[in-house]
């Protein structure tokens, strides 16, 4: 299988972001659809829906809006790389170009924590981003969390929710679940 040069997705954050969730590099389907965590077996959206109190079956734009209203934002550590397929292990070492996270942090005055979705995201963050952080950003907690990827099948959704639970201290308290069927509030 040949490698190809891939360009990541843009950051999905607001100035109210308190938790920035960082992946390594979006998978092939996410890049194709220009949507974070687009693979149907990725547990990211059900996990964040459980933590933030929204329906994981909402349309992508609504899920993203609910996530941002809860105080979370999304981006990746790697902005560009060569890779074949979707696995982090297939990234060609030395081809990685990190995203400009230190500059983004300067625009996030409410940022309280960084959550790395998987070991590859955490390693990349420690290698390329942490050394370049200004003192205030360097003092933020960086959580190395288990990956929501289907490749991490050893972790069930309930186990992931339990391990990701510490993020709730920085997120808005879960409220009523927004239902796609009624496009309103459900109890």
Q: d(Cα 125, Cα 47) in Å, to the nearest integer?
A: 22
Q: d(Cα 83, Cα 144) in Å, to the nearest integer?
A: 23
Averaged over 123-144, what is the pLDDT? 94
Q: d(Cα 123, Cα 55) in Å, to the nearest integer?
A: 31
Q: Is 86 within the bounds of a domain?
A: yes
Q: Is 34 within the bounds of a domain?
A: yes
- What is the tens place of the pLDDT at every residue in 38-84? 999 999 999 999 999 999 999 999 999 999 999 999 999 999 998 98
Q: Is 187 within the bounds of a domain?
A: no
CATH value at residue 99: 3.40.470.10
User: Is the whole-model pTM more than 0.85?
Assistant: yes
Q: Is 82 within the bounds of a domain?
A: yes
Q: Is 66 within the bounds of a domain?
A: yes
Averaged over 13-25, what is the pLDDT? 97
Give strand pairing partners of 129: none
- The domain in which residue 82 lies consists of 18-168
Q: d(Cα 6, Cα 10) in Å, to the nearest integer?
A: 13
- What is the tens place of the pLDDT at every residue in 88-131? 777 888 899 999 999 999 999 999 999 999 999 999 999 999 99
Would you place residue 180 in the very low, low, confident or very high pLDDT band (cuts 50, 70, 90)? very low
Q: Is 149 within the bounds of a domain?
A: yes
The answer, yes or no, to whether residue 182 has pLDDT greater than 50, is no
Pairing state between β 19-23 and 72-76: parallel
Q: Is 4 within the bounds of a domain?
A: no
Catalytic residue from among 42, 117, 172, 183: 42
Q: Could you give the number of structural domains in the chain?
A: 1
At residue 1, the pLDDT reads: 60
Q: Is 103 within the bounds of a domain?
A: yes
Is residue 42 part of the annotated active site? The answer reads yes
């Amino acid at each position: 299988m040949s490698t190809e040069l891939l360009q990541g997705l843009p950051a999905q954050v607001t100035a109210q972001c308190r938790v920035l969730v960082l992946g390594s590099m979006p998978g092939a389907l996410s890049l194709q659809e220009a949507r974070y965590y687009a693979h149907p077996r990725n547990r990211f959206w059900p996990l964040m829906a459980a933590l933030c109190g929204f329906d994981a079956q909402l349309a992508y734009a609504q899920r993203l809006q609910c996530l941002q209203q809860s105080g979370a934002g999304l981006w990746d550590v790697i902005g560009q790389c060569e890779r074949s397929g979707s696995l982090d292990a297939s990234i060609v070492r030395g081809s990685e170009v990190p995203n400009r996270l230190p500059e983004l942090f300067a625009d996030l005055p409410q940022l309280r924590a960084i959550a790395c979705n998987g070991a590859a995201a955490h390693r990349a963050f420690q290698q390329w981003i942490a050394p370049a952080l200004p003192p205030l950003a360097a003092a933020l907690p960086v959580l190395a969390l288990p990956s929501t990827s289907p490749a991490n099948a050893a972790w069930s959704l309930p186990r992931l929710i339990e391990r990701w639970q510490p993020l709730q201290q920085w997120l808005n308290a879960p409220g009523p679940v927004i239902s796609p069927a009624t496009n309103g509030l459900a109890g």
